[in-house]
Amino acid sequence: MHTKQQKTAQKAADRVIIPKNPIRFIFSVSKPHKWFAIGALMAMLSAEFFLSVSPFVLKKLVDELTAFKSLEEGLQVFFVWGIVYVLLQLFSSMSWSASGFTGMQWLSRANKTAYERLYNYISLHSNAYFSDRFAGSLSNKISNASDGSERLLERTLWGWLPETIGLLIGVSIFFTVDKVIAVGYFLAVFVVGVVNFYLVKKRRPHVIAYAASSSKLRGDGVDFLTNIAASRQYVRRKHENMRISKSAQDRREKDIRQWAMSEWMLFMNRLIAVVLVGAVLGYMYVLFKKEAVGAGDIILVLAVLGNITHIITHLGNMMNGFIRMYGEIEEGLEEVLVPHEIDDKKNARKLKVTDAKVEWNAVDFGFDDNQVFDKFNLDIPSGQRVGLVGSSGAGKTTFVSLLLRQHDIDGGEILIDGQNIAKVTQDSLRENIAVVPQEPLLFHRSIRENIAYGKLDATQEEIELAAQRAQAHDFIMELPEGYDTLVGERGVKLSGGQKQRVAIARAMLKDAPILVLDEATSALDSESEVKIQKALHELMVGKTVVAIAHRLSTLREMDRIIVLEQGVVIEDGTHDELVASGGVYARLWAHQAGGFLT
């Protein structure tokens, strides 16, 4: 059951503007958890500071040890600076731990926020958006954006940022030894950084191409596994494996292309790092020969040199890792965060249904150059049961889609109890319409959960009553786990008739004032259909009903039957009236075979 707080949170989520830019996206999902972020960053800065000044303590220790006049004085020096060194290591370790505990809260919460916002956003897309895309690919893109953001934050917090700070502190320490070394190293790091940034920028399109190819491979895999039964029936396993192989090869080629650029960059950085180490050591040799530096200075330079050399060597790798994650996040956001095709109007109100009267006034609608409805008019009085008949392409399915506002009309208006459905919230519209589709849409959950989807707070008694009315209770009780039986992906563990009866039970539980039956009995055998007709009659009582059927026998008891042809009402009346008129419906009725249109 949805609590008031959950509904408030959902409304707030609907209003959130999600940035497409990966950096802004990360800031956006981190903002609600800013105190954890600040705590993690401050702790990390402290840890890196304590760690970076440790070599300076070693320098002081060596300098004073080489200058002591007595063993007692030397031991005292060793004790004091040894304690300072140990304390710095302790403070650094404690700060790293503090950063870890606060950072895990920040990153895990930001990751959760990213998933919530992206799934919330994508759920508001129209049916047309999903029909053009693989569900598996979309899920992968959301994972790329959400998990990629977490990985990017993790690498930044405990990798790139500390190393950058260590680099700056290291160069600063060099200034205490010799300005030439400090300035030379700073310039070298600057040049390497600029060159690496340029190369990484050139690599970016290759990374994005690789991410897209990776998503396609996963999408092809999901498509194959989802339709594994068809693949076996048509003996197309080799064909599908070839498709997967082709996608995998494309992904490998794009991966090699972007990976090779990374390796060349690392090679160049390693070469530069070796040259710099040699130059610094050579320069220190000259200074030591002139007695311009002492043993402590050499220890300090060597300690800092190792850290800075490591950073220079892996600077390209750091940038490569950044741009790769950045590209994955960007590719995911680009696909998900396209503008919504259908939005609630500003200040849209909730639909309030009392009589469930439906009116179509001069409705215009078309797909590209295909005009489906042109100034279409139709009134369905409260509580009337209407059957829609017509050949394929007549406009029946489009009629239902427009009633559910899965598309926006081009002109005119559709009213429910005098309220324009384009000016009410989509959720409130669909809350008042129950749909039993031709292909039952079941979740890979228990039968109980699938039925209760019509009313989330339904009791077990209410669920069983709905199942009994839908003629589903008996077969459910025969299953090993009864109502706790998992139905499998899209209900594959159930027969077509069983799935349809579960869907009908769900619609019964929803108990909406408007009912849409889209070939609701098409998946049933004759015996099941007889059982279900009674359930549908109970379901239709007191409701405004729109039923689409090719099996005309299911429409005989409708109050009214409308025959559509190319989006135009060509016949309108009861079953008996239309049969007696000798028109299109009568001809269809006469040509039925086994109750189906031929």
Q: How far apart are CA 577 and CA 260, in angstroms?
A: 76
How would you classify residue 417: left for phi > 0, otherwise alpha for psi between -120 and 50, otherwise beta?
Answer: left
| Position 412 pLDDT exceeds 50 | yes
**What CATH number belongs to 15-336?**
1.20.1560.10
- 214 CB neighbour count, 10 Å cutoff: 21
Q: Enumerate residues 6+ apart whose C-beta is below 8 A from 67.
A: none
| Mean pLDDT, rounded, for 34-42 | 93
| Mean pLDDT, rounded, for 364-393 | 87
pLDDT at 39: 93
Helix axes 71-122, 54-65, angle to 10 degrees: 170
Range name among 179-188, 237-246, 443-452 with the lowest pLDDT average:
179-188
Interval 99-147: pLDDT, tens: 999 999 999 999 999 999 999 888 888 777 877 777 777 887 888 889 8
| Position 555 pLDDT exceeds 50 | yes
> Closest by alpha carbon to 365, among 419, 415, 401, 416?
401
CATH superfamily, domain 348-432+545-598, is P-loop containing nucleotide triphosphate hydrolases (3.40.50.300)
Interval 262-314: pLDDT, tens: 778 777 777 777 777 777 778 777 777 777 766 666 777 776 776 667 777 66
pLDDT at 107: 92
Q: How far apart are CA 579 and CA 130, in angstroms?
A: 40
Sign, CA dihedral 152-155-157-161, equals negative
3-state helix, strand, coil in the chain (%, to 5): 65, 10, 25
Which pair of structure tokens corresponds to residue 429?
């519209």
| Position 67 pLDDT exceeds 90 | no
| Mean pLDDT, rounded, for 564-573 | 88
| Position 442 pLDDT exceeds 90 | no
CA atoms within a 13 Å half-sphere pointing along the CA-CB vector of 578: 26
Q: Enumerate residues 6+ apart whose C-beta is below 8 A from 264.
A: 199
pLDDT at 69: 61
Task: Please provide the DSSP assignment of 68-134 as one string.
Answer: -SSHHHHHHHHHHHHHHHHHHHHHHHHHHHHHHHHHHHHHHHHHHHHHHHHHHHHTTS-HHHHHTS-
Mean pLDDT of the chain: 81
Residues of the chain with CATH 1.20.1560.10: 15-336
Q: How far apart are CA 330 and CA 23, in angstroms?
A: 9
| pLDDT band of 597, cuts 50, 70, 90 | very low
> Closest by alpha carbon to 490, among 1, 119, 131, 135?
135
pLDDT at 303: 67
DSSP state of 363: E
DSSP state of 343: -
Grouping H, G, I as helix, E, B as strand and the rest as coil, residue 324 is: helix
Which pair of structure tokens corresponds to residue 481?
């786990």
